Structure formats: C-alpha cells, structure tokens
Amino acid sequence: MNRFVIAEPQQCIGCNTCMAACTEVHKAEGLQSHPRLTVTRVGDQTAPILCRQCEDAPCARVCPVNAITHGEHAIELNESLCIGCKLCGLACPFGAITPSGSSPVNIPPMFEHYVPAELLPDVPTSPANQSAYLSWNAGIRTVAVKCDLCAFLAEGPECVRICPTNTLYLIDENQLEQEAQARRLARIDQVSIGWTSPPSLTREQK
C-alpha cells in the first residue's frame, strides 16, 4: 500500500507552520515553492489537507504525458514533465493538487534583456485572488504540485517533523496494523468491563 500523511483536526491550531516548512524544504531542493498542503478551516476546527496517495490515483490516469506515476510507496509527480494542463487537479477527489508556477530561474543567454512580465505595463496579469485553475501570467510556467512525502529527506515529511502539536501522522501498512490492533484491544476491554458473571444456580434450581 501507499504511505500518506493525515491530520488530527482536534490537535491542529491553524498556525500554518506546516505550510511554511513545506515551502522552505522544496524551495531549497529546487522544486516549486508552493506548499504541498493547505490548512483548511471548517467551523471552529482547522486541519491541513494534502495528497492521500490514492491506490487508484485518478490524477495519474488523466495525465496525458505520464508526469504522474505509481512509485514504490507513493504517487510521484515529475515537475519537469508536467505541461500544466491542470487535468490532475480537476480529477483529484481531495483537491490536493494545485497548479503553481514561478518566474524562470535560468534565463537563456539570448534573453539577456529579459524583463519580468509584471514590470511591463501592457502585459495583462491575473488578479492575485484568482483561482489557480483560471489564472494566467506571462513568462511563468505553471505546473502541478502535490505532496511527495519529502522523498528527498531521510527523516521523512517535513510537515510531520515540524508540527508543534503533533497533528500530522505518516501512515503506512505497519501503522495501520498497529491502529487496528489497538482498537481491537480497546474493544475487548470495553466488553470485559461491561460483562458480569451469571449468578450461581442453587441446588434447587439445578
């Protein structure tokens, strides 16, 4: 089975530390700096939403260039192959894939007089609050970003490590078995506490 990260809403304080840490480690790795998780509020509770590494991976099925593939323990996205069609984000049942882009990092020598589009008054840009699926920005290549479980870090997902309230958990096959065993034992304890021995029969009742 694939590994994935889940959050415990009762413990989340909405500090966004996980998002900031995600941005920093991916930026340092040369990947898109957009955070791979989004802290979402529902009522008075908050929790990070991120890729569940689906076994059937609808995002991988719709990708026209095979930029999303089934890895050994996760669904992997190759940013270099992505063409920014946004189909994967539309297919994701959890809304865990976001189109994002940044200004070109390596400008070819022939563009020595390159001027960022945002500095050109006659080049239209999308509003700051525009949905990532509808936005446009000249000179910026948009690609899909999703949780990669920080595969480049030996210690695993940075969001799990950095969370101040231990809200995030990395789930794998062993973890699921431990959780199931703990629930079975808890249920046995509940049943044993509620069970009482039947009264002894008297000689006349026998």
Question: How far apart (Å, rounded) are the C-alpha atoms in residues 40 and 70?
Answer: 27
* Residue 206 falls inside a structural domain: no
Residues 6+ apart with CB under 8 A from 171: 3, 4, 5, 6
73 domain-assigned: yes
Does residue 74 belong to any structural domain of this protein?
A: yes
Which stretches in the chain have pLDDT values below 50?
A: none
pLDDT, residue 35, reads: 94
**pLDDT score recorded for residue 62:** 96
Domain that holds residue 56: 4-103+132-194
- Alpha-carbon distances, residue 114 vs 38, 39, 110 (angstroms): 33, 36, 9
Q: Is residue 46 part of a domain?
A: yes
**pLDDT, position 141:** 79
Within-domain flag for 175: yes
Report how many domains make up the chain.
Answer: 1
